[in-house]
Amino acid sequence: MDNNQNSNQKKFDLEDRTLDFAKRVVRLCRALPKDSVNNRLVGQVTGAAGSVGANYREANDALGKKDFICRLKISRKEAKEALYWLELIEEANVAVKDRMQEIKKECLEIKNILSAIIIKAEKKKGDFEN
Phi-psi region of 93 (alpha: psi -120 to 50; beta: other; left: phi over 0): beta
- CATH number, domain containing residue 74: 1.20.1440.60
List the pLDDT tens digit at each of the 130 positions of the chain: 444 444 455 455 999 999 999 999 999 999 999 999 999 999 999 999 999 999 999 999 999 999 999 999 999 999 999 999 999 999 999 988 888 999 999 999 999 999 999 999 999 866 544 4
Give the chain's domain count.
1
Residue ranges making up the domain that contains 93: 3-129
pTM for the full model? Answer: 0.85
